[in-house]
A = this chain, B = another copy of it.
Amino acid sequence: MLVTMPTSKPVPASRRSDATRAAILDAARERFATEGYERATIRAIARDANIDPSMVMRYYVSKEGLFAAAVSVDLELPDLSQVPREAVGRALVTHFLAMWEENEVLTALLRVGATNPAGAERMQGIFRDQVLPVARQVCPDPEGAPARAALVASQLLGLALTRYVLRFPSAVELDREEIVAWLGPTVQVYLSSAHP
């Protein structure tokens, strides 16, 4: 007899609708990234995914639920204790650029965070849970970590803002190596230099 993938009755390990669910998530990520929360309509997302708007509701309950499912961020920050002290800045900037360019979720979150209170809280959470710990691990003075992490975040998010959201031509035209060469030392100073 022909053996199909799922073996258990109660919890089908893979559903027939998985393709549709994924299509919805893809379309949602794209719309949220390019238009923000309010302008990205469920109807438009459904159209992109070639299904009826009501399917989005069935699978993700509400627009908020869809956003929560579509936008989950893991910065995958590397273990900086392995990296030589003086190369930390460049390593971080390189990593950030790579993450941002391969992952439209980050742009979506930044766009939404700028107008939506829940989006802003989400970004605060990522900063607190993923960026701050790394800063604590690297920087010399433990009590100065929040300030140093905030400075690093301001420079990196500012680059993302001007380059991927506002799309200032001058920022878009910078190439990655150039960015690393300029921002690397800055981040390095913010993280490890003595208070100026």
Question: Which residues of A pack against B, CB within 8 Å?
Answer: 35-39, 110-111, 113-115, 120, 123-124, 127, 132, 146-147, 149-151, 153-159, 161-163, 165-171, 173-174, 178, 181-183, 185-186, 189-190, 195-196
Contacts and interface: CB of A to CB of B under 8 A. Distances in A.
Interface of A is mostly: helix
A115 B36 contact: yes
Contacts of A186: 155, 186, 189
30 contacts: A36-B38, A37-B115, A38-B38, A38-B115, A111-B114, A111-B115, A114-B115, A114-B165, A120-B165, A120-B166, A123-B168, A124-B166, A124-B169, A132-B170, A146-B169, A147-B173, A149-B170, A150-B168, A150-B170, A150-B171, A151-B182, A153-B158, A153-B171, A154-B161, A155-B186, A157-B166, A158-B159, A158-B161, A182-B190, A185-B189
Contact of A163 (B154, B169, B185, B195): B154
Name the 5 nearest CB pairs between A and B, nearest first. Answer: A158-B158, A114-B114, A36-B115, A150-B170, A146-B170
